[in-house]
Chain A
Amino acid sequence: MKANRVLFALVTLIIIGIVVCNLRTRMSRLTTSEIIAIGALWIGSLPPLSPDPSNQYADDPRAATLGQKLFFDVRFSANGKVACATCHVPELNFQDGLPLARGIGTTTRRTMTVVGAAYSPWLFWDGRKDSLWAQALGPLENQEEHGGNRTYHAHLIDEYYRAEYEAIFGSMPDLRRLPRSAGPGANFEAKSAWEAMAADDREAVTRIYANVGKAIAAYERLIRPGPSRFDAYALALMDGDAAAMQAAFSPDEAAGLRLFIGKAQCVRCHNGPLFTNNDFHNTGVPTVAGLPIDTGRAQGVPQVLADEFNCLGSYSDADKNHECAELKFMIGEGQELIGKFKTPSLRNVAERSPYMHAGQFTTLEDVVAHYNVAPIATIGDSELEPLHLSESEIQKIIAFLKTLNGRNDVGPRFVRPPK
């Protein structure tokens, strides 16, 4: 009789178990809007790069070749040791893995990757530049980075790259009578020499300098992200291929993706195929002891408006009446800008520690834990709200983030100095 009772209980439990399991799998199927959200993150939805109207050489292969040489050329620095590639290391996803960038000295922010940067209307963590070419000109004259100045750089172009330069940009003016070092930057001697130069000479040098940026930008436009395991999952999902989905993602990774686009709300800002909206947000990231107060976008806005290399400036090739919409319709002032920093792309994020604008967090655990708690901002107002994620949910999100690793879509000849 006892055996009968055991059998009865067992069969009852098995039947209930089967029904409940079936219901659960049915419920865990992705909804239509989840599938749309995942499809929007798929790398295949990345459009071809639009032309940059402010840079007429942006898609000129000769400019890209020259730009690549300049990108790796350490002569364009005060100590002959710093090139763009010093901080934007090709083997490290075009960043340096350091909390604060190191050139001649140490800066106050983390190096951002070059990968996919051409898609962003704003450059740097605070968006103080509005094009890739204008961005490239910042570090070249920054005393903590390359430590150079524009007349010095113009002389180098004249001495080492004259033929290539002239083939793209036209004839090189005579620079022999100009000082070796002169520029409007922070260096006192170079600044005095710059102010002593005739306006025409300053204009001619600045024109060469702008062209240096345009060549580097033409090269950087070729550095794009490549597909990751996530993209294989997204493609399988859109094809309705359950086997390929299971082959691409573990259950934890799939659950992490679902949290990413759902409960954890990561996708609000990390959206689109580059996992960034390229906009600015205050997420209450802690300030760093010993660094000056960083107000982010609030200090980037006046700088980009005043930048002689912006889209509306005289070195821009854009039709100022019909282009430069991002700059023209930018939010130009207000409390809301304080403490906002640019959303970085999450492609290859697991290979890009430390995180945030001054490398405040070492691990992805630290990052997700920060978003989960949503602490009050030290500067401005944080946009975050607590997420109430469990430890296991945090781990699933991290498992998902690790599926975003993938080889960049850059030809091998573009990741080293050209011959």
Chain B
Amino acid sequence: MRKHIRAIVLTAGVVAVAILIAVVLAMLVPGPRVIVPMVTRNVSPPAELDTSATRMSSSGLYRVSFTSVIEPIPINQIHNWTLHVETTDGHPVNDAKIGVTGGMPQHGHGLPTRPRVTQHLGNGYYVVEGLKFHMTGRWEVRFDISSSARSDGVIFSLLLQ
């Protein structure tokens, strides 16, 4: 009799495992696009998001880099950045007029402040004052740079936690 029960339990175990495997395999039919968000549910940054602090401007005229006076970039705290602008062959750009805009592309709103370039420090370095980020998530900060009649823009992406 005991042998009999053991056989039943064993068969049940095999059937249970088979059912689970069948379910997992069936999940592959809708594909990973459906399953991955179900399992992870975490909104991870798009893999291609480039958050580097040095970038070429969109038409390739300038190489631009920023450093935040406060690192890591804080949430809810107004602070300054230093911006460096140089030509592709590495000459600092000293006569640039620079406009600052930005926002959260996924939320459809801009920056909570109106930051400005307030000072040229020489050697291609500029002070950007009044930056503030009042939410975590993905931000963009855009600098429109014009010097000697050549204008170009650069967008930095930030992922703030």
Contact = CB atoms under 8 A, between A and B. Distances in A.
Interface residues of A, number: 37
B12 interface: yes
30 contacts: A7-B12, A8-B12, A11-B16, A15-B13, A15-B16, A16-B19, A16-B20, A19-B16, A19-B20, A31-B41, A33-B161, A37-B161, A40-B136, A40-B161, A267-B136, A268-B107, A268-B137, A271-B75, A271-B76, A278-B76, A278-B134, A279-B76, A279-B134, A328-B130, A329-B114, A329-B130, A331-B113, A332-B114, A336-B110, A383-B109
B100 to A, nearest CB: 10
Given A27-B39, A325-B78, A329-B114, A277 B9 contact: no
Interface in A319-358: 325-326, 328-332, 336
Interface SS of chain B: mixed
Nearest to B161: A36
B155 to A, nearest CB: 20
Contact of A326 (B12, B15, B78, B161): B78
Contact of B136 (A4, A271, A278, A336): A271
A11 B78 contact: no
When A and B form their complex, which 5 residue pairs have the shortest distance between CB atoms, in order from nearest?
A: A329-B130, A11-B12, A15-B16, A277-B134, A279-B134
Contacts of B12: 7-12, 15
A286 interface: no
Contacts of B110: 336
Contacts of B109: 336, 383
Contacts of A375: none
Interface size class of B (residues with CB under 8 A): 35 or more
Interface SS of chain A: helix
B22 to A, nearest CB: 11
Contacts, number: 96
A326 B78 CA distance: 7
A380 interface: no
A76 to B, nearest CB: 33
B134 A11 contact: no
A318 interface: no
A269 B16 CA distance: 47
Given A277-B134, A383-B109, A8 B8 contact: yes
A329 B78 contact: yes
A37 B137 CA distance: 11
B75 A272 contact: yes
A34 interface: yes
A375 B130 CA distance: 33
B126 to A, nearest CB: 15
